[in-house]
Structure 1
Amino acid sequence: MARVRARGNGPQGLPGISVTGRRAGTFCLLLVAALCVQATRVQVFQAQDLDRNSANQRLTVERYAQPRGDILVGPDPVTGSEPTGGRYAYKRGYTDGPTYAAVTGFASQAYGTTQLEGTEDELLTGTDGRLAGWSVWDAVSRRQNPGGDVHTTLNRAAQQAAMRGLGDQKGAVAAIEPATGRILALASTPSYDPGSFAGYGADDQEAWNRLQADADQPMLNRALRQTYPPGSTFKVVTAAAALAAGVVTDPAAPTGAPFPYVLPGTTTPLVNDTPACDRADLSLAAAMTASCNSVLGYLGVRTGLDRMAEMAGNLGFNDARLDVPVRAARSNFDTRMDESQLALSSIGQFDTAATPLTMAMVAAGVANDGTVMRPQLVDRLTRSDGTTVQLMKPAVYRRAMTPAVAGQVRGLMTGVVENGTGGNARIAGAVVGGKTGTAQHGVGNSGTPYAWFIAWAAPAGSDAVPPVAVAVVVEDSGATDVTGGALAAPIARSVMRAVLGG
């Protein structure tokens, strides 16, 4: 009998698969593989970018699902969290927001974060890995940790004195503890209330738009992010460089500076602001006390560009990565210029520009025997229960000059306060050293001059490092006497007195 093979059976008797079926199966497998590849690409390789995408609201919802950690001045928080009853459960609140805005910055549901609210955002929101516990369940469930706290280095009395002193004027104050680099005050005016746009509503948007349109730029951090020609306050840098280079060996001896002093390569004399400077061969001490442009311009040229630039760099100039931890703007001292430009730069003009923070570093370095400490705004980071996450330790920024040179410059600055243009900074029971500055700016020097004062102060009879150094700039006050001695020195005095406890 002939055998009949069942149609459609495979070699082992299983139902056969047609060519079309095999192709469809292969296509489905390819689709599954493609989906796996795409899922891996999205969930692994693109996860970070998607998390940061402005259209991704999940992270914002999580960020404001619980109270944010606080920023503290001393033992007291200057921030808080307010329940909203909306999609974002909490929004940021501020205690006396305008006083501390230059330090805290803002945390807004609509507009992001700045200043310490930005640099310490992960800790404040609880997403910093250092806040995580050891619980396996916490890791599996991805439970959000409570936000940690940021303890600042601010001295509350000094900060309040700075804001009161500035008042309605445009300007800024930076105060530093010379021995440690701790920032004691950081003020900028006009200021703003960061809580006015912390939410996501129409009122928040209106407040934001109003601040953005304000010609006085209240949201500009003038203490950290604005540079100004430092004027005669820069003569402290020039004096230190001349002494360090041996161009001047005795501050009380004649310098050999001619009068008039004609800018090298030109027929233009470098003029002074007072007749007390209009004679030849003044000493460095006399020139600093009377703030003589001709003498300090001459000494800057004699010291030379390289040594002037080196001293400026040691005191904080030309550093584009000065973080406190908020990044400060780069203060400038040109490293390529001719001798006439160097003479002008040596008296804080031409292209020389500085933030108040950098000029406070200048005063602090002189006060601290020539060692400049790295400025720091944060003392420590803690968990919500108060345990320490990170303790900030003082760190040396640069050794700018020898203790001997620093002592000579301190003597020069003391003379300015006791016998010269800085008399408004005197404090009873304290030794104060300072330097005034009135900086021209604008086309043809047509702008209202900036009034500067930098200083340090110590209790009389103390051999310790002075506990405070300060820089003040008043940008536009409307006053008739627009000088550093008249406008900025009294503000510096009030800040230093607050630190000294007077």
Structure 2
Amino acid sequence: MNRTIRRAATVTLLLVMALLLRVTWVQMVNGEALADDDQNRRNTIEEYAQPFGDIIVGGKPVTGSTRAEGGGDLHYKRTYTDGPAYAPVTGFSSQVRGATQLEGIYQDVLNGTDDRLKGPLDMLTGEQAEPGNVLTTIDPEVQRAGVEALGDKKGAAVAVDPDTGKLLGVASTPSYDPSSFSGSGEDDDAAWQKLTARSGNDKNDDKPTLNRALRQAVPPGSTFKLVVAAAALEDGLYSSVDQRTDSPDPYTLKGTSTVLHNENRAAPCEDATLRTALRYSCNNVFAKLATDLGEKKVRAQAEKFGFNDEKQDVPVRAATSNYPEKMDDAQTGLTGIGQFEVTATPLQMAMVSQAIAHGGELVDPHMVSQVQDASGHTLQSYEDPDSHRVMSQDSAAQLRSAMQTVVDKGTGSNAQIDGVTVGGKTGTAQHGVDNSGTPYAWFTSYATTDSGKKVAVAVVVEDSDAARAEVSGNGLAAPIAKKMMKAALR
């Protein structure tokens, strides 16, 4: 063999060996990363190769699957029953836009790629397993009541079972139909473009894809007074909701010349008891209470309820409800009436009423009870949630009594239900520069029957067709809460 041929053979052998080493490296070292890469088309093809598992509400699926049109390599696409009503629960699953909320969290279970779904034969053959299902805690009657009561208003509502933490209703309006853009065709793209055109940064944009019940924290206004009242009782600043407070009316914010008035100037708010102060929503009492307690004690109580929790999962990650720090006395006083930089989601304010209704103990709220395989075997259960004490049973009992007074004789009269014990707290929260925005109308409440059945509800109405002067928690939010409570206690 001459030298030229020998050299060529050597170079060729080295190239073959380099190629083999590279292939081995890719398969053995980078194989898993490449397989999981978002740009790997094979993953998307596998995901949409068969009908999906379902998200179950009240024993019935609110999702489905249908053959995708066009004859492409994505064979199935997601469909939704009552899509706009359940979008705040399910989220969406789109061939182009991915998946959100429960659809995203349990994507591998619902499309059959989760390893827990695979039997020994599937492992050997590499075949895709039959998809599993996600069982929610949502009560269809409560969900329907919330959606219908909100109607054309911009707002949200959350209902929770105080004893179990099960979310019974999660409503957000305006909403959207996830079916309209679940595929990859021109109609799907047009529907998405139309939807996102309503979700810009302008304050008047509808933002229909925003889950206002879980993902938007806004000023809670006077509903936050329940947190301050709980702090005052737990600290021992006042031993009873019927003990008179030291509260001048009007109240001048400490260290300033700013005078804080009450909405109802004729209300008996001077040195009022906590019961009377909640009944008439006396700003002077709660601003003074927050100042006397100090920001650290109010924050500690708020955090027991769930404020400042950056990982509040139900299992959808909720937006953080905020109680600020490093404030002066005047700013602390404003937080006492749910203003300054205090923000809360409807979920958070439902948790406040939930803990009060459950004797001062907060059970972790959740909207999934079980994740199952196709045969109904449980892969994951959420039926034994954690809980922690927020306040003493005595403090909770006193606040329940005071909240009943709010509904029976005070600002929450529109939540009254015949034959049912109802307690609540209204709120009207200012927002915008110099209070330029339409006030938020709030109501948080609980209801219980003689048989012991309970529900806690929080509602916020961001915008409605009501005149600005007519915006109130009792006028706009309490009737919505009432309908959801009645549905839960039916």
Q: TM-score range by the shorter chain?
A: over 0.9
Output the CA distance in 2 between the equivalents of 1:279 and 1:398.
Answer: 34
Map 1:48-127 onto structure 2 (within 5 A). 48-85=32-69, 86-87=71-72, 88-127=74-113
Q: 1:31, CA displacement in angstroms?
A: 2.4
* SS of match in other structure, 1:275: coil
**142, 153, 170: which is aligned to 1:169?**
153
Q: 1:397, CA displacement in angstroms?
A: 4.1
Distance 1:31 1:445, change over 3 A: same
Q: Which letter maps to 1:402? A: S
Q: 1:27, CA displacement in angstroms?
A: 3.4
- Whether the aligned pair in 2 keeps the contact of 1:373 and 1:394 (CA below 8 Å) is no
Instruction: Indicate the residue corresponding to 2:286 in structure 1.
Output: 296
**422, 425, 431: which is aligned to 1:441?**
431
Q: 1:67, CA displacement in angstroms?
A: 0.3
Output the CA distance in 2 between the equivalents of 1:441 and 1:35.
Answer: 65
Q: 1:18, CA displacement in angstroms?
A: 6.1
**116, 127, 130: which is aligned to 1:146?**
130
Output the CA distance in 1 between the equivalents of 2:297 and 2:183.
Answer: 52
Instruction: Indicate the residue corresponding to 2:202 in structure 1.
Output: none
Instruction: Indicate the residue corresponding to 1:342 in structure 2.
Output: 332
- Provide the TM-score with structure 2 as the length reference: 0.95
Instruction: Indicate the residue corresponding to 1:409 in structure 2.
Output: 399
* SS of match in other structure, 2:252: coil
* SS of match in other structure, 1:255: coil
Output the CA distance in 2 between the equivalents of 1:372 and 1:454.
Answer: 15
- Whether the aligned pair in 2 keeps the contact of 1:371 and 1:396 (CA below 8 Å) is no
Map 1:233-312 onto structure 2 (within 5 A). 233-277=223-267, 279-312=269-302
Q: 1:293, CA displacement in angstroms?
A: 0.6
Q: Deviations over 1:389-410 (max 9, x none)?
A: 2221232343111111111111
Q: Which letter maps to 1:334? A: P
Instruction: Indicate the residue corresponding to 2:171 in structure 1.
Output: 187
**469, 473, 477: which is aligned to 2:460?**
473
Distance 1:38 1:418, change over 3 A: same
Q: Deviations over 1:355-409 (max 9, x none)?
A: 1111111110111111111111101111122222222123234311111111111
* SS of match in other structure, 2:388: strand
Distance 1:338 1:278, change over 3 A: farther
Distance 1:420 1:127, change over 3 A: same
* SS of match in other structure, 1:220: coil
Distance 1:403 1:200, change over 3 A: same
Instruction: Indicate the residue corresponding to 2:477 in structure 1.
Output: 488
Name the larger-Rg structure: 1
**219, 225, 233: which is aligned to 1:229?**
219
Q: 1:52, CA displacement in angstroms?
A: 4.3
Output the CA distance in 2 between the equivalents of 1:259 and 1:158.
Answer: 41
- Whether the aligned pair in 2 keeps the contact of 1:181 and 1:394 (CA below 8 Å) is no
Output the CA distance in 2 between the equivalents of 1:394 and 1:440.
Answer: 39
Output the CA distance in 1 between the equivalents of 2:105 and 2:244.
Answer: 50
Output the CA distance in 2 between the equivalents of 1:275 and 1:44.
Answer: 76
Output the CA distance in 1 between the equivalents of 2:483 and 2:269.
Answer: 36
Instruction: Indicate the residue corresponding to 1:12 in structure 2.
Output: none
Output the CA distance in 2 between the equivalents of 1:36 and 1:406.
Answer: 71
Q: Which letter maps to 2:318? A: A
* SS of match in other structure, 2:157: strand
- Whether the aligned pair in 1 keeps the contact of 2:421 and 2:447 (CA below 8 Å) is yes
Q: 1:482, CA displacement in angstroms?
A: 0.5
- Whether the aligned pair in 2 keeps the contact of 1:272 and 1:278 (CA below 8 Å) is no
**1:395 counterpart = 2:385:** yes
Output the CA distance in 1 between the equivalents of 2:252 and 2:368.
Answer: 47
Q: Deviations over 1:94-126 (max 9, x none)?
A: 111001000001111111100100001010001
Output the CA distance in 2 between the equivalents of 1:41 and 1:413.
Answer: 67
Q: 1:278, CA displacement in angstroms?
A: 6.0
Output the CA distance in 1 between the equivalents of 2:433 and 2:127.
Answer: 59
Instruction: Indicate the residue corresponding to 2:408 in structure 1.
Output: 418
* SS of match in other structure, 1:469: strand
Instruction: Indicate the residue corresponding to 1:8 in structure 2.
Output: none
* SS of match in other structure, 2:370: strand
- Provide the TM-score with structure 1 as the length reference: 0.93
How many aligned positions are there? 480
Output the CA distance in 2 between the equivalents of 1:49 and 1:91.
Answer: 26
Output the CA distance in 2 between the equivalents of 1:490 and 1:183.
Answer: 20
**302, 308, 315: which is aligned to 2:305?**
315
**1:156 counterpart = 2:140:** yes
What percentage of residue pairs aligned between the two structures are identical?
50
Supply the RMSD in Å over aligned alpha carbons. Answer: 1.6
- Whether the aligned pair in 1 keeps the contact of 2:214 and 2:346 (CA below 8 Å) is yes
Output the CA distance in 2 between the equivalents of 1:472 and 1:206.
Answer: 33
Q: Which letter maps to 2:15? A: L
Output the CA distance in 2 between the equivalents of 1:391 and 1:163.
Answer: 28
Q: Which letter maps to 2:331? A: Q
Q: Which letter maps to 2:486? A: R
Instruction: Indicate the residue corresponding to 2:346 in structure 1.
Output: 356
Instruction: Indicate the residue corresponding to 1:198 in structure 2.
Output: 182
* SS of match in other structure, 1:101: helix
Instruction: Indicate the residue corresponding to 1:11 in structure 2.
Output: none
Output the CA distance in 2 between the equivalents of 1:428 and 1:279.
Answer: 29
**367, 375, 378: which is aligned to 2:368?**
378
